[in-house]
Structure 1
């Protein structure tokens, strides 16, 4: 028995209705309860699955399958006795659930489609379907060829031109498709405490609020920093507060393009300040700087004062220098010159989401000693051509300062996140959810 698991009516309805369709897709906000519903539907589907054909769990990697699906399935606090029916050894590509062997398949790129060739499946659970290649998804559905075969999938919303939205969710009313989609918002999860809901809402803004809180499939459009206001977010350098510490320097290396560096400090007011910048761009009348010259230019700048309280002669730099991993030769040169570097974390969408959340919350500000970065911010926009192709990406023009800032903020997140908690900030209000928690009893 699975006793007293709090579920919303929407979750229960999705579990029951999914039995009637070949393909069921749970999409919506983060932490909205869609994964719990899909796992319960998967447990149910295993007990009803045809005797022949393979059972699959697919995700971007084996590690994400373990983290997002198998570990929750083994949590007795959530699934009670059913958790003991899920057996898996970390790193293995199989699991045993209710006595059935379940094959775990990662699909990180287009070559993953080959992993499905030749197999016959009766049931598949797909984690974060929008992150998988379209060729893999198409091949997976083709392999679900046993009579009564089913596919259960979860995803957060993405670009509205994404193949999953256009080719499947938008066509669920077509009887030939045999597809059903279930949409969830953050307020549809009855197990979340109100303070957590308030916290997670405060961490998103703009595009990411619409997708990850309201669960909408919306396109990236217009300015990325649409919440940026120079009157609120730019402070005179000589009025900078004291810093708890300097979290690091981010460097976007260029040869034909500019090389840009920013230095970020963590203020005593628990605001991150972009304190200073350095940029070199060769003019048409001079030769491009070599990595030796760019290294010297960066080191000379680092030795200068970056805060009004710094000594006039500056001081040696001993902190983080975060550099794009693609600039391997430059990193080698910096190391030879005595400057240790850290390879930048380069998840673009996560970095943009983090930066915009900080700016919207007033937890990231800039000084007037960053004129080049301040010029870039208003023109940092989403690429409409990528949007038309179902992808989200910024326009790669005049973004060197924004890239260097993204590198240092995301790569050092563990260092500043302890004090700068976005969940302490004001929260956007939403209507009370219509779905009230319901207690149900599931029989195994």
Structure 2
């Protein structure tokens, strides 16, 4: 076994027990619980220990939602000397490559974002597997991966944040741990001794409602009630806008029979995000559907006439035009009209989590003129029927402005994240 003291300066008792215990696990070792609770570092140390003694027959695979998340969540930490000391030099990987060399062993990096990923391991023999964020991996892929552990001593190590109580990972594996050869360790923020108190407090502030119970408390709970339970129109809706230092995006949720809803996102001089303008067209109330040509012309006219806050000028040209991924024909029309657009990031739950965090920390505000968007917030709720089936999804009713907001904020997060001001904790009081 590797010398744990040589690769990290601080480990909690629970982390050490999980690392040691994972080496004696019959087949599946799972770390679950709160964000930043130390489960990933513990599981990676356990993975390195397991890799050093893994059967030489069979593949070693590391699985994540995408290759990019594997690189960000796993490879980058493993290559950090601050975390893993001299062992970091034995983790060799070229960005974008589907393999890495770790402790001299070839490791295959497998993205498993949908059921098609099952074919990437079909027919393989796996000696050791590591799965990042197991609740996000398709059930069929997980079961196929287990069936590939065909050599003596083959094991699977995995981490996850909690999901709904009906999720297959909890229902079929955690609750039946003894029957399926699993050992499970549950972590909370208090199990990570390396966290500073102010960082813990900041995390607790950033997550609200469902996300707080799952990612801070580490509970497997249903998605129920309001999606944006931190929404407070008395605080989030503003009458006066600050000077906007960067017009980040025009975002569009496209509709023909459903409403077409566009909005403009800007970063204020105060360091906070503002949804400053909106344009909405509802064919049902207007009694006429518009073509892509007409939508493009009207949207461009709206941008050209949009007032610049605090000035007598009109006309806005945000850096990005973010469009609903399903609106392929509209994107083509924009291109023909000289507007380059980008696909909106349509990972619904991560997008909702980004917006919810900004609302909870009072770093996203809506101008009072955006009445269509403001009216949608109170009724945006989790679907209880799907929650009972272990699925997290909002009810798809009156959500076009909220989808637009999610596209605007989540798709452009790398643009504004580093420039965002601290949380407005005074407003949270």
**TM-score for the superposition, normalised by structure 1:** 0.86
Which of 64, 67, 84 is the matching residue for 2:72? 67
Give SS of 1:378's match: coil
Find the counterpart in structure 1 of residue 151 from structure 2. 146
Once residues 21 and 414 of structure 2 are traced to their aligned partners in structure 1, the CA distance between those partners, rounded to angstroms, is 42
1:251 corresponds to 2:252: yes
Structure 2 unmatched ranges of 5 or more: none
Cα distance in 1 for residues equivalent to 2:125 and 2:306: 66
Map Cα deviations across residues 258-281 of structure 1 (whole Å, 9 max, x no partner).
Answer: 111122333333333322321111
Give the corresponding residue for 1:30: 35
Matched residue count: 422
User: 1:164 corresponds to which residue?
Assistant: 169
Counterparts of 2:276 and 2:68, CA distance in 1: 38
CA contact (8 A) 1:275 1:306 kept: no
Offset at residue 392 of structure 1 (A): 1.7
> Greater relative contact order: 1 or 2 (C-alpha under 8 angstroms, separation 6 or more)?
1
Q: 2-side partners of 1:214 and 1:310: how far apart?
A: 47
Alignment of 1:12-411 (within 5 A): 12-21=16-25, 22-172=27-177, 175-236=178-239, 239-283=240-284, 286-306=287-307, 309-311=310-312, 315-319=314-318, 320-411=320-411
Q: Hey, what's the Cα distance between the residues in 2 that align with 1:300 and 1:100?
A: 59
CA contact (8 A) 1:323 1:407 kept: yes
| Secondary structure at 1:303 match in 2 | helix
Question: What is the CA–CA distance in structure 2 between the aligned matches of 1:62 and 1:366, rounded to whole Å?
Answer: 35
* Structure 2 SS opposite 1:39: helix
Per the alignment, residue 434 of structure 1 pairs with: none
Tell me the secondary structure at the aligned position of residue 378 of structure 2.
helix
- Pick closer, same or farther for the CA change 1:373–1:88 going to 2, 3 Å: closer
Instruction: Name the SS for the 1:145 alignment partner.
Output: coil
Over 3 Å counting, the alpha-carbon distance change for 1:71 and 1:177 in structure 2 is: same
CA distance in 2, matches of 1:52, 1:261: 55
What RMSD in Å do the two structures reach over aligned CA positions? 2.6
Q: Contact 1:344 / 1:411 at 8 angstroms: preserved in 2?
A: yes
Residue pair 1:250, 1:405 contacting (<8 A) in 2 also: yes
Alpha-carbon distance, 1:25 to partner: 0.3
More displaced 10-residue stretch of structure 1: 8-17 or 175-184: 175-184
Deviation at 1:412, TM superposition (A): 2.9
| Cα contact 1:126–1:151 (8 A) shared by 2 | yes
Following TM superposition, by how much is the alpha carbon of 1:166 offset from its aligned partner in structure 2, in angstroms? 0.9
1:224 CA displacement = 1.0
Distance 1:116 1:274 in 2: 44
CA positional deviation for 1:288: 1.2
User: What is the CA deviation profile of residues 20-47 of structure 1, one whole-angstrom value per residue up to 9, with x for unaligned ones?
Assistant: 3221100112222111111111222233
- 1:65 is displaced (CA, Å) by 2.9
Check the 8 A contact 2:242/2:309 in 1, yes or no: no
Q: Which has the larger radius of gyration?
A: 1
Question: Counterpart of 1:15 in 2: which secondary structure?
Answer: helix
Q: Is the 8 A contact 2:265 2:275 kept in 1?
A: yes
